[in-house]
């Protein structure tokens, strides 16, 4: 039973003085208006109108109900007006969880421009290497790479990134460049300190996907620490192209063993809780970031 429709029919009938006029003004039949009001009276267990041959008269109970009904209708109109403004209102706090390296190299360079575009919006960026589903705790967006767990969330692919074996020119001049993946066992290599597929150094050898058992000289929880080790000339690392693309393009890091590289790229997803009635703050950030990623591919992004 639609209580709101019954209340509207009551208000219309009182405004127009009879069921026929109320029906014509609102695209209904007189019988539909009559039925709605009868159901309202049955639900309230009171008579709201004295029905005359030409006009309706409010009963004492009807006059009391009219006061409350007006308050409800006005509140609903105000709520609808507020909701209509939401699509154009970008405010509040946008909460994002993503990999620290993605935040630093693919979000922070553009963040000042984004915040200047939407001055009523603030951004809370939480960093961690693994995808977390904290949407019930207020998270708006998660940006992560690789295989995501099955869930009812919406995962929108925003890019894909290769993983590159690389080192600095200083290291290669000092220790030599590996000619074959097996040569890596004789080099100083660095890895992540947590369990991850990113620690698997795989190559295409004799048309077979082959895992090389690289022994890490040191391991780190953050990809940026691995990058710094490589930039300092300490050894060889395996990192995502979105992370070190600008280092490769500038020559700060040199890709290795390209003849044995797998033709594989890891997808990167933007995850949010629901496609329907998407919050304006999520929508504008999604569109802004996708535009920036299209304008600045991994290999030319402004890594610092």
Each residue's pLDDT tens digit, 192-241: 888 878 888 999 999 899 999 888 899 998 889 999 999 999 999 999 99
pLDDT above 70 for 303: no
Q: Distance (Å, rounded) from C-alpha 220 to C-alpha 14? A: 74
Q: Could you tell me the pLDDT band of residue 175, with boundaries at 50, 70 and 90?
A: very high
Q: Which domains does the chain have, with CATH numbers?
A: 3-87 (1.10.10.10), 89-159+267-300 (3.40.190.10), 163-260 (3.40.190.10)
Kindly report the three-state secondary structure assignment for every residue of 160-187.
EECEEEEECHHHHHHHCCCCCHHHHHHC
Long-range CB contacts (within 8 A, 24+) of 115-118: 117/284, 117/288, 118/90, 118/91, 118/281, 118/284
What integer is the mean pLDDT of 87-93?
Answer: 73
Each residue's pLDDT tens digit, 101-110: 999 999 999 9
pLDDT above 50 for 260: yes
pLDDT above 70 for 275: no
Residue 37's φ and ψ, nearest 5 degrees, are: -70, -35
Q: What is the pTM of this model?
A: 0.64
Q: Could you tell me the pLDDT band of residue 79, with boundaries at 50, 70 and 90?
A: low
What DSSP assignment string belongs to 43-89? HHTS--EEE-SS-EEE-HHHHHHHHHHHHHHHHHHHHHHHHHHGGG-
- pLDDT at 272 (0 to 100): 86
Each residue's pLDDT tens digit, 104-141: 999 999 999 999 999 989 999 998 877 777 787 788 99
Q: Of 241, 242, 194, give the one whose Cα is nearest residue 216.
A: 194
């Amino acid at each position: 039973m639609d209580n709101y429709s019954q209340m509207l029919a009551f208000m219309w009938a009182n405004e127009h003085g009879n069921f026929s006029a109320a029906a014509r003004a609102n695209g209904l039949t007189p019988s539909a208006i009559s039925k709605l009001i009868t159901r309202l009276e049955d639900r309230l267990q009171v008579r709201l109108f004295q029905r005359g041959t030409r006009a309706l008269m409010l009963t004492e109970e009807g006059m009391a109900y009219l006061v409350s009904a007006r308050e409800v209708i006005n509140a609903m109109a105000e709520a609808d007006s507020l909701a209509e403004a939401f699509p154009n209102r970008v405010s509040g706090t946008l909460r994002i969880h993503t990999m620290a390296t993605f935040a630093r190299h693919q979000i922070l360079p553009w963040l000042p421009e984004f915040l200047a575009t939407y001055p009523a919006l603030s951004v809370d960026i939480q960093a961690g290497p693994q995808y977390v589903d904290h949407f019930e705790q207020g998270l708006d967006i998660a940006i992560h790479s690789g295989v995501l767990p099955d869930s009812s969330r919406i995962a929108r692919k925003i890019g894909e990134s290769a993983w590159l074996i690389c080192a600095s020119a200083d290291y290669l001049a000092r220790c030599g460049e590996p000619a074959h993946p097996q040569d890596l066992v004789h080099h100083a290599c660095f890895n992540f300190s947590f369990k991850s597929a990113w620690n698997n150094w795989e190559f295409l050898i004799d048309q077979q996907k082959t895992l090389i058992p690289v022994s890490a000289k040191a391991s780190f929880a953050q990809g940026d620490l691995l990058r710094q080790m490589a930039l300092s000339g300490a050894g060889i690392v395996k990192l995502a192209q979105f992370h070190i693309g600008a280092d490769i393009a500038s020559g700060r890091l040199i890709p290795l063993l390209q003849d044995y590289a797998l033709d594989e790229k890891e997808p990167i997803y933007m995850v949010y809780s629901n496609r329907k009635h998407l919050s304006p703050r999520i929508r504008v950030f999604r569109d802004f970031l996708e535009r920036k990623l299209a304008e600045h591919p991994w290999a030319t992004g402004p890594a610092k």
